[in-house]
């Protein structure tokens, strides 16, 4: 169960979240920054509730009361050509 992946985008496990939260006495925001949970392609839409639940179980406090995690989906996908700045006919 400890090797369960909570954040699929960044491959963060339940064990990593629990150990980091305990070691650093982390808030939700700090745990996100320390483990990168919720910072992948989906922007936390998949794992945010699980990360908050881990913190609630460890600290007994609702992590969204301090500073909630921001769910920020990508604005729009980019092609590698657009990202690299190359024209399509070059």
Gap between the Cα atoms of 89 and 34, Å rounded: 42
Q: How confident is the model at residue 62 (pLDDT cuts 50, 70, 90)?
A: confident
- CATH fold of 5-84 reads Arc Repressor Mutant, subunit A (1.10.10)
Gap between the Cα atoms of 88 and 90, Å rounded: 6
- pLDDT attached to residue 23: 92
The yes-or-no verdict on residue 69 having pLDDT over 60 is no
Rounded to two decimals, what is the model's pTM? 0.62
- pLDDT attached to residue 25: 84
The structural domains of the chain, with segments of one domain joined by +, span 5-84
Stretch 59-82: mean pLDDT: 64
Stretch 70-81: mean pLDDT: 66
């Amino acid at each position: 169960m400890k090797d369960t992946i909570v954040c699929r985008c960044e491959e963060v496990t339940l064990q990593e979240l629990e150990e980091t939260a305990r070691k650093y006495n982390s808030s939700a925001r700090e745990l996100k920054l320390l483990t990168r949970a919720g910072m992948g392609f989906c922007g936390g839409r998949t794992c945010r509730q699980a990360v908050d639940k881990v913190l609630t179980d460890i600290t007994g406090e609702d992590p969204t009361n301090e500073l909630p995690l921001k769910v920020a989906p990508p604005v729009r996908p980019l092609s590698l050509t657009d990202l690299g700045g190359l024209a399509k006919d070059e």
